[in-house]
Every structure is written in structure tokens, then in C-alpha cells.
Structure 1
């Protein structure tokens, strides 16, 4: 499957928003899926940047990392009680799903 220009534009827009959003202070020591959530943010962001820089493709290792991050985000996001944290991690989750769309074969 090929990455659409609309998909790239949406991902770039979400990435821009996420990049300039402050990390939610109340979640600095939180865990999501057994991982410190700041690491979950870091790993997901790294995959998103790689995907954007490579024209909508990821190597197998980054694809595996991103899928793992999505699984952790699936579990963590519903547990967030802080509105700022919810918004921050919902955006990250949406971005991860958008980037992974072609990797999983779904649309």
C-alpha cells in the first residue's frame, strides 16, 4: 500500500501539534503498559519522525517498536485521569495509528 499525501499532511500536522505541546507534568512518573510513559512518548515520536523523514515508510525494527507502542497506548490512554494528559496521549495515539495504517494493512 502506498502512503497518501493526505495521510502525510495529517501526520505532519499532528506531529507539529504534538511537538510543541508541553508534556503533562502529572504524568512524569506514570507507567503505561509497564513502561514509563515518557519513554512511550519518546519511542512513538522516534517512529513518527522516521516515517515522516522516509516518505511514509518504516524499517521492520521501527514498525515493531511502533506496534508495541500502540498496544501500550491502547491500554494506557483510557486510564489517564488528567485532562491535559488525556489530550496529549490521545493525540500521540492517533498519530501512531495514522502512521501505522499502511504497516498493518488496514485503512
Structure 2
């Protein structure tokens, strides 16, 4: 059953990744910090971890990094005042959460 759960999470993560790759980065977030977080770096680091996760289970270091970035995106979301930008970062948060869940499922 865990294999099926991991497989469906992997399919979900693949779909979310494809959607993310089609979505343009919100221009007004370039060079911007919210709650002390660089919004470009937040996007890039989560994307890098998600891409690694699509290639196989994350190592412990990347898994911990992803948890840190997941917490960071959750911290900044309430401070974003643009609906389109909020949707972009909510999608990023969802990808990170699925990648964390996938990593947790494969570690068992």
C-alpha cells in the first residue's frame, strides 16, 4: 500500500511540477523580501528540491532544507497582498508539501 501511495504522490508532484514550469514567476517579486525571505531564492530553492525529489528520494540534507523552505513559504503567504502572487506561492507550497510527504513515505 505504501508503494501505491508513493506512486500517486509522485504522479501528483510531477503534475504540480509541470504546472509550475508553465507559470511565469511574478515579476513584482524579483528583488523583493517578505518577512525576511528573498522571494526569488524561496522559489528557486523549493523548485530545486522538488526537481531532485522527482529524480528519486531526497537525501537527509535536502529533505531538511525543503522543510525549512516549506516553513518559510508558509510564513510569507499571509503577507502577500496580490491574489495572483498568492496563488503562485500557494502552488509552490503545495509542491514542497507533496515532496516532503513523498520523502516521508519512501523513508518508511
TM-score by length of structure 1 reads 0.87
Partner of 1:37: 39
Partner of 1:68: 68
TM-score by length of structure 2 reads 0.86
**For structure 1, which runs of at least 5 residues remain unmatched after alignment?**
none
Please say which of residues 6-15 and 23-32 is displaced more in the overlay: 23-32
Taking only aligned residues, the RMSD between alpha carbons, in angstroms, comes to 1.7
Cα separation, partners in 2 of 1:42 and 1:79, compared to 1, 3 Å: same
Secondary structure of 1:22's partner? Answer: coil
Q: Are the aligned partners of 2:9 and 2:102 in contact in 1 as well (CA < 8 Å)?
A: no
Q: Are the aligned partners of 1:66 and 1:96 in contact in 2 as well (CA < 8 Å)?
A: yes
Partner of 1:27: 29
Partner of 2:15: 13
